[in-house]
């Protein structure tokens, strides 16, 4: 396992170096893509067309991001998709729900810490009670008993905490394997690992496979509930990359707003965010109602 730890930094350097080279080679293609329309480009959806202002996407690394995005999409389609489909189609729904509840319960310490850092003491109290009730009566979090008592689950992470402190998101960034992000959230994701007692314990006792297995299981569980939605986005958009960029930003804005959700399909994030896992299995078909944001302004052009 120590070899794996030593290998990770060099592998990340290799990945980013590779994508910088590929991104530079694709710079001409990216310029042609933008020249499609200097002001707007159309995204085909099931509800019609949406005009997107490409001058305010804040994506200076677009050529590199597109290369990483293509790599991630390839890995999802050829590596994770077969397992995701098998997991969705052959694992009973009750078992999948239990797995999602268990993983969410493990993330409670991270949520609790960020509730406190955001001075959301009422939500912190709810998180604490949910963890105690579900860890005991719910048998290690397998059952979500607390939601039946009126204590709804919610999601918090260090990226959201930074946002409430006034830290801007910065430029758009696509991370290898982890997907859409930005510098603020990338740093926040790293910091969340130190709030997680399971990660700390597994690292201290040399059992890193525990946290890796948890992350892998969480990614599989999350992605299996998003396959149809992502297929719908891919089929109905002219520029899949730009559509995901817009949806990811608006979804993130809704999360930071603490429950002010837009009507958006979930965006896969194969990290430590297990908070909305089971909700993804009950989402409607892709019928976006995208609110305008500063980074990707979207207006109806029907």
CA distance 35 to 32: 5
Are the CB atoms for 43 and 238 separated by under 8 Å? yes
Residue span of the structural domain in which 290 resides:
2-300
- Give pairs for 22-31: CB < 8 Å, separation 24+: 22/64, 22/67, 23/61, 23/63, 23/64, 23/65, 23/66, 23/67, 24/63, 24/64, 26/63, 26/66, 26/67, 27/63, 29/63, 30/62, 30/63, 30/66
Q: Where are the alpha helices (DSSP H) in 225-299?
A: 227-236, 240-256
pLDDT of 298 = 37
Task: Report residue 217's pLDDT band, with 50, 70 and 90 as the boundaries.
Answer: very high
pTM score, whole prediction:
0.72
pLDDT per residue as tens digits for the range 12-70: 444 444 444 334 434 434 444 444 333 333 334 434 334 344 446 899 999 999 999 99
Length of the chain measured in residues: 302
Torsion angle in degrees (nearest 10) through CA of 42, 44, 45, 48: 70
Choose between 302 and 54: higher pLDDT.
54
Number of domain units in the chain: 1
């Amino acid at each position: 396992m120590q070899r794996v730890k030593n290998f990770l930094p060099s592998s990340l350097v290799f990945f980013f170096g590779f994508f910088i080279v590929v991104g530079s080679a694709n710079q001409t293609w990216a310029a042609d893509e933008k020249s499609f329309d200097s002001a707007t480009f159309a995204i085909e959806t099931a509800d019609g067309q949406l005009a997107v202002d490409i001058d305010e996407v804040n994506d200076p690394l677009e050529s590199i991001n597109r290369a990483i995005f293509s790599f991630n999409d390839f890995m999802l389609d050829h590596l994770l998709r077969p397992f995701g489909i098998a997991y969705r189609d052959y694992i009973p729904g009750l078992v999948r729900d239990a797995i999602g509840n268990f993983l969410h319960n493990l993330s409670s310490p991270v949520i609790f810490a960020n509730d406190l850092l955001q001075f959301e003491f009422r939500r912190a109290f709810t998180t604490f009670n949910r963890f105690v009730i579900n860890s005991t009566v719910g048998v290690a979090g397998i059952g979500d008993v607390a939601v039946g008592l009126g204590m709804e689950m919610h999601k918090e992470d260090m990226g959201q905490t930074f946002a409430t402190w006034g830290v801007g998101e910065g430029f758009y960034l696509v991370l290898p394997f982890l997907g859409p992000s930005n510098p603020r959230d990338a740093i926040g994701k790293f910091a969340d690992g130190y709030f997680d007692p399971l990660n700390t314990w597994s690292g201290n006792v040399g059992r890193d496979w525990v946290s890796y297995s948890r992350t892998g299981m969480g990614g599989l569980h999350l992605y299996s509930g998003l396959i149809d939605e992502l297929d719908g986005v891919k089929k109905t958009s002219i520029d899949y990359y730009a559509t995901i960029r817009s949806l990811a930003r608006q979804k993130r804005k809704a999360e930071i707003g603490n429950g002010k959700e837009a009507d958006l399909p979930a965006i896969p994030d194969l990290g430590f965010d297990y908070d909305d896992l089971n909700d993804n299995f009950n989402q409607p078909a892709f019928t976006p109602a995208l609110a305008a944001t500063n980074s990707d302004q979207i207006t109806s052009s029907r």
